[in-house]
A and B are shown apart, each in its own frame.
Chain A
Amino acid sequence: MSESSKSKSLNLNPSPTLQCKDLHEYLKSRSPQFLETLYNYPTICLAVYRELPELARHFVIRLLFVEQPVPQAVVTSWVSQTYAKEQAKACTTLSELSVWQEAPIPGGMPGWMLAQSFKKNLKVSLLGGGRAWSMSSSLEPDGKARDVSFLDAYALERWECVLHYMVGSAQTEGISADAVRILLHAGLMTRDAEDGSAVITRAGFQFLLLSTPKQVWLFLQHYLHTAERRSLSAAECLAFLYQLSFSTLGKDYSTEGMSNNMLVFLQHLREFGLVYQRKVPQRGGGRGEPGVRPPGAARWHHGRADHPLPGAARAPADAEVRDGRHPVGVDAAPHRGGPDPPVGVREEPLRLHGGGRLQPVPVAGRLRGAAGPRPRGRGAELAARARADHGGDPRRTRRRQEVLEALLQEQLVSPPGRSTRLLSLLANKIVSE
């Protein structure tokens, strides 16, 4: 088991429960220099702003158009005395995220000043100016535009490929080596000692049972972790992800002017179903339907509406599930527009402008609700144990049946859906071994 122990030692997620940080926690864990580069992207500034606590947002917008440092006493005087605690918390949050810094006023008093890059780029995203991140203005209308339902189906299908691979079902096309590497790195899969193929781990099982947006966000977090090693700038990738999330669902954007690294990243996103790109005939470095499109302007559609990025764009139709606190929240909450979670990952599918319709809640969400008081780990344990067995021992067959039952029992009430199919595939696989 040397290989698996090696991958375990590389596993940056030592605890069996998967950690899913929200955007602010993620950013606070990065260095100020990283944040400085990150705040060069207007979309990131916008996303960070939206996640700020109430009072902090008002502080920032008041300081946005002020050029000199403002005395800290003045900022404190903006809030009425009864809310002093909230005010202090807002100030700490802003300092931790390097949104503002201490700056002395002539006269010696301590003052606050917004970080230059943050101020400049938040203004750009609000008022205009700066560079567009996508050269879409020169795109002609798309003759073969894909509608939202197509994009949804595409996104779902692509993401399921990844999940099917994890489960090891043979009926799917394989996924790229990069994606496998990420799964290994995240500890969701591990290399089997005997044949070197990747097999799912316990954490991987837990991962399968998460809701789709959470899965995608976790996956992306790990992707960004490994990005630096593959000489992809994590800041650039994160910025691109947020640009995606602030685009309009179903609309097409141009890939002109994107760096090679970003094009690679785009291909990965295509693989995971987050964007849709039509097949590109290689003609002079761009795409084109023959003769119709300008060369060098590849199109991609923002596909995956289940966008989990916190602080992202308008979501007229989502229901929220808070991190583990309301496991049945998905069913109980109305299907549209839940409260903006101050912390915790936004779990439900986001519908951007084009949508606005109700999306059936991902079955994984229901799964969680239906599981009830049964500890989730048990199924995974049984499955792991069953997998360890090989051969046609009748005892083992019985054990495998146990596993199958345990897994099927996890979904007491659910319509036939994605996860049902997945789990029945898994169960079949175990039984057939």
Chain B
Amino acid sequence: MADDDVPSDSSLLVVIVDTNPNQRYIIEDPKMLTNVLDAVVAFSNSHLMQKASNELAVIGCHFHKSEYLYPSPGKPLDVRQIDGQYELFTLVEKTIKMRLVNLIKSQPQEEKPGESLLAGALALGLCFIARSRRSAIPGLRTSSRILVVTGSADTAAQYINYMNVFFTAQKEQVLIDVCSVDKHLSLLQQGCDITGGLYLKIPSLEGLLQYLLWVFLPEANERSKLVLPGRGRVDYRAACFCHRELLTIGYVCSVCLSVFCKFSPICTTCHTVFKIGGPPIKPKKKKMKV
């Protein structure tokens, strides 16, 4: 993006962890969530370790809501040293674990787990970044990025929300990185492409921390110096607004640019009435009435 090669004074990282219990790797082995969380915590602390001025936020994304795991909205915990770990890192670890337990406990028992609310979590992250930029010192160069760690499958149900978030992030010069633990996520990959972030689907869960440290730890201006995985081919198919199906050919409203798979005389998004009578089947020559 704009100031790519200028070193920044402080870097803000927002990590979004998908904690939805219906992710395949959790269904197969519930203990794996702990491993994934440990890797994410270690990665977050490594980010804080880079520079004293770096900042961190961690958001837990569930199927009923998303919540800040760190920093804790209320008073921070009073941590004391129990081992040689730097106190700040201990605070991060304890806060994240405690709030995650609360988040999971708060899930409604009677509902069947739905999709992870990733678009909402991304929006939360963008709000956090905007807020911290407002309260930052003028003249301080900050770079911000969001990392999504998820094992969910691709879903077009949140297509519009995703697109809104991606374009906002692009405008705000926030990178969106995605680390997919299980499936290929074409929609999120589009987001990475739009904002200039990195998309990676990791082959094995055991090496998660190493992948995170190698690929996602460098900041935006450092990425040009290191050799990192390339972009790959991005699937840019749009999803129709009526059924959320990906399509290559469709109908587009000329006013609001919403995409439809079938013709309809009124656009459902902006309620424009299309004066053209039906889809053109055969071009007919109209006789001009004198």
Q: Which residues of A contact B50 (CB under 8 A)?
A: 50, 57
A77-B227, A311-B52, A334-B138 given; 4 more Cβ-contact pairs under 8 Å:
A42-B84, A131-B84, A132-B82, A338-B140
In Å, the complex CA distance between A128 and B138 comes to 36
Asked whether any CB of chain A lies closer than 8 Å to the CB of B210, the reply is yes
In Å, the complex CA distance between A315 and B281 comes to 69
Asked whether any CB of chain B lies closer than 8 Å to the CB of A327, the reply is no
In Å, the complex CA distance between A248 and B90 comes to 13
In Å, the complex CA distance between A321 and B137 comes to 17
Q: Which residues of A contact B89 (CB under 8 A)?
A: 125-128
In Å, the complex CA distance between A336 and B7 comes to 18
Using a Cβ–Cβ cut-off of 8 Å, how many residues does chain A contribute to the interface with B? 51
Asked whether any CB of chain B lies closer than 8 Å to the CB of A151, the reply is no
* B residues whose Cβ falls under 8 Å from a Cβ of A: 7, 9-10, 42, 45-46, 49-53, 80-90, 93, 136-141, 209-210, 213-214, 217-218, 222, 224-227
Instruction: Please name the 4 residue pairs, one residue from A and one from B, whose CB atoms are nearest each other, closest first.
Output: A130-B84, A132-B81, A336-B137, A128-B85
Interface-facing stretch out of A2-10, A79-87, A181-189: A79-87
In the complex, what's the smallest C-beta–C-beta distance from B172 to chain A, in angstroms?
A: 20
Q: Which residues of B contact A311 (CB under 8 A)?
A: 52
A sample of 10 cross-chain residue pairs with beta-carbon separation below 8 angstroms, ordered by A number, consists of A43-B86, A61-B217, A65-B213, A124-B83, A125-B86, A130-B85, A134-B81, A247-B87, A333-B139, A336-B137
A131 near B83 (CB under 8 angstroms)? yes
* CB closest chain-B residue, reference A340: B51
Residue interface bits A130-151, CB-to-B below 8 A is 1, else 0: 1111101101000000000000
In Å, the complex CA distance between A54 and B51 comes to 10
In the complex, what's the smallest C-beta–C-beta distance from B283 to chain A, in angstroms?
A: 54
Asked whether any CB of chain B lies closer than 8 Å to the CB of A335, the reply is yes
A62 near B225 (CB under 8 angstroms)? no
Asked whether any CB of chain B lies closer than 8 Å to the CB of A78, the reply is yes
Asked whether any CB of chain B lies closer than 8 Å to the CB of A371, the reply is no
Q: Which residues of B contact A313 (CB under 8 A)?
A: 52, 88
* CB closest chain-B residue, reference A41: B84
B139 near A50 (CB under 8 angstroms)? no
Q: Which residues of B contact A54 (CB under 8 A)?
A: 7, 222, 225
Chain A CB within 10 A, most for which of B9, B50, B84, B227: B84
